[in-house]
Amino acid sequence: MTDAAPMTFYEEVGGHDVFVPLIHDFYQRVAQDALLRTMYPLHDMDGAEWRLRTFLEQFWGGPTDYSQRRGHPRLRARHVAFHVNPEARDHWLGHMRDALDEQNLPPLHADVIWDYLQRSAYAMVNTFEPTPPYPPSPAAPTDAAERTV
């Protein structure tokens, strides 16, 4: 008989080596989504990636880097400033589903993660107002002078 601690879900699923590509793939999709892209400053995509990855790693029993650096997750409070309506939620979930599928996890592991992500995404909805018009992409020129080479 051994006194070894039971394996965490984080360890069981593959740990850091699974969460890094999962979250990176997700944010690659977010960067191309006009609705979601407006919620992330261009200069902070790496920060957004770090925050979501470390939050999920900690949630599933991995390192506690997230709370050591940012404190309690306070998910609803941290998202209240964003226009998270059902359309935004569905975009977010669609990209996360695609990124999760790319990881080729065993179905039970993928289902456990997906269940949590779905419940969390639904909980983040903070308005049922229609999505406002998307501002121009930050990478797109805003006037004729900027469009010339």
CATH number of the domain located at residue range(s) 14-129 in this protein: 1.10.490.10
* Per-residue tokens: 17: 């080596």
pLDDT in the model for residue 1: 54
Where are the chain's structural domains? 14-129
Q: How far apart are the first and last CA of the chain?
A: 72
Predicted confidence band of residue 139 (pLDDT cuts 50, 70, 90):
very low
CA atoms of 89 and 69, how far apart (whole Å): 26
Task: Give me the amino acid identity at 92.
Answer: W
Task: DSSP letter for 40, please.
Answer: S
pLDDT tens digits for 27-68? 999 999 999 998 887 777 899 999 999 999 999 999 999 999
In angstroms, what CA-CA distances link 109 with 20, 53, 75, 120? 16, 17, 23, 17
Percent over 70 (pLDDT), the chain: 87
